[in-house]
Amino acid sequence: MLRLFVALSLPDLVQTRIAPMKTGLPGARWIDQENLHLTIRFIGEVEDTYAEDIHYSLSKLRFKAFPIRLKGIDTFRSRNMVRSVWAGIEPSTQLKALQKKIDTNLVSIGLAPETRKFTPHVTLARLKRAPLAKVFPYLVANAGFETQPFDVFQVFLFRSHLGSRGADYEALAAYPENI
């Protein structure tokens, strides 16, 4: 079984811009620099043979390059308990269109359509039930975070390897492939 997702990898300049923010949040498990990414579509556990169908479906993906930028800091939380801290993405109609195109390609081979609202973000840290009040000073201190725009010209099929320290990600293929 393979645990798969489709994502954008981040340019080195963006990763470097994020690095200084990985402090000042007690109890945070910071995402390793090489694992920072923007998930476009989580696929989940699939058989190896189905992964080939996914690859074939994504190999037909074509889109024009477009710019995006990271902007703002927020959290995913439940009942004021924070699970993760993330950098947001400045609104982009092109990114939403790309997400819909990827979902359509995957649905065409039998994957269920994504039912969750697409909230483009880059997870910076995970927390275990941290009260929002404890995370709030970090959010305020980093509220003005933003990066320079960078071009999206390729997406990647990643495999997630779960371990005791969290997940490590392996890029299996890039789409379009011939860039």
Asked, as a colleague might, if the bond just before 120 is cis with ω within 30 of 0, I would say no
**How much is the CA Rg of the chain, to the nearest whole Å?**
17
In tens, the pLDDT along 147-163 reads 999 999 999 999 999 88
How many CA atoms, within 13 angstroms, populate the side-chain half-sphere of residue 157?
Answer: 24
> Which pTM does this prediction carry?
0.94
Residues in the chain: 179
Domain residue extents for the chain: 2-175
Q: Residue 115 and residue 21: Cα distance in Å, rounded?
A: 31
In tens, the pLDDT along 60-72 reads 999 999 999 999 9
Q: Alpha helices, DSSP H only, in 78-178?
A: 93-107, 132-141
Q: Decide which of 3.20.20.150, 3.90.1140.10, 3.40.50.700, 3.40.50.2020 is the CATH code for 2-175.
A: 3.90.1140.10
Q: Residue 4 and residue 138: Cα distance in Å, rounded?
A: 31
Q: Quote the mean pLDDT of the chain.
A: 94
Name the DSSP class of 18: H
For residue 161, the tally of other CB atoms under 10 A from its CB is: 12
Q: Alpha helices, DSSP H only, in the chain?
A: 12-18, 48-59, 93-107, 132-141
In tens, the pLDDT along 131-151 reads 999 999 999 999 999 999 999
Tell me the angle at which helices 48-59 and 93-107 cross, rounded to the nearest 10 degrees.
Answer: 130
